[in-house]
Amino acid sequence: MPNFTHNGTTIEYLDEGAGDPVVLVHGFASTKEVNWVYPGWIKPLTDAGYRVIALDNRGHGASTKFYETERYHIAEMAKDVIALLDHLNLPKADFVGYSMGARISAYIAAHYAARVRSATLGGMGIHLTKNVSSGDTVAHALEASSRDEVTDKVGLEFRDFAEKTKSDLKALAALSRSHQRTVPREDTARIRVPVQIVVGTKDVIAGSGEELAELIPNSKLVSLDGKDHMRTVGDPGFKRAVIGFLKERP
């Protein structure tokens, strides 16, 4: 996989297809492969005529791991994505983010609007603007010597997923402790690029899609019936919604 380095951070990415660029931004404890390649996102997008770019966020996959919380403020993670656009000489792109990646994409839409054609925010409703759980709870679960020591249900879910994706648990613990990993309501409300929100009706991690749609002017909401946080990401309805939105946007 290709990579590049900016400000001491190395980011690995994939780049396939031709056409308007679509940048895929993965979620917490995931990777470009786990979030996008294995669930079958690349071929439908390239077949639809798009150039698909997906990165490993800092702290994840083959990208640089840090162990200080300030390295994971959302502004810093957004800069990695903008640096990738600069590295590829892309003035603009469409963004598709999932979970944490939706937060990063929303932050970019608010602060780097000139670089964004559209943004699809998947797996995040109103919790895009607030922490779903205590960062310390998740961090303690990730730092435990074994999963058997973890008693908190949410912490155990994150620990199990992080182990399944072979993540660096200490790096993820530092990220989970960052108190600046959400998008402030005032930033979210000022987004003016075309936005689509995709949330499963059983996704308790995402929070209300309706509330987020009310906060972002002229945004479009797609609800996937019966899907929770884990099952939304690979759902065919999510893929159809993204491709349809890309075809419709100016």
| DSSP 8-state class, residue 7 | T
Instruction: Please tell me the distance from the alpha carbon of residue 198 to that of residue 195, in angstroms, as a whole number.
Output: 10
Domain chopping of the chain, boundaries: 3-131+181-248
Cβ neighbours of residue 104 under 8 Å, at least 6 residues apart?
25, 57, 74, 77, 78, 81, 97
Give the 3-state DSSP-derived string for 74-125, with helices as H, strands as E and coil as C. HHHHHHHHHHHHHHCCCCCEEEEEECHHHHHHHHHHHHCHHHEEEEEEECCC
Question: 3-131+181-248: what CATH class?
Answer: alpha beta
Q: What is the pTM of this model?
A: 0.96
Nearest partner of 124 among 244, 204, 226, judged by Cα: 204
Query: For the chain, how many residues are written?
Result: 250
* pLDDT per residue rounded down to tens, the chain (250 residues): 999 999 999 999 999 999 999 999 999 999 999 999 999 999 999 999 999 999 999 999 999 999 999 999 999 999 999 999 999 999 999 999 999 999 999 999 999 999 999 999 999 999 999 876 655 888 999 999 999 999 888 889 889 999 999 999 999 999 998 878 899 999 999 999 999 999 999 999 999 999 999 999 999 999 999 999 999 999 999 999 999 999 998 7
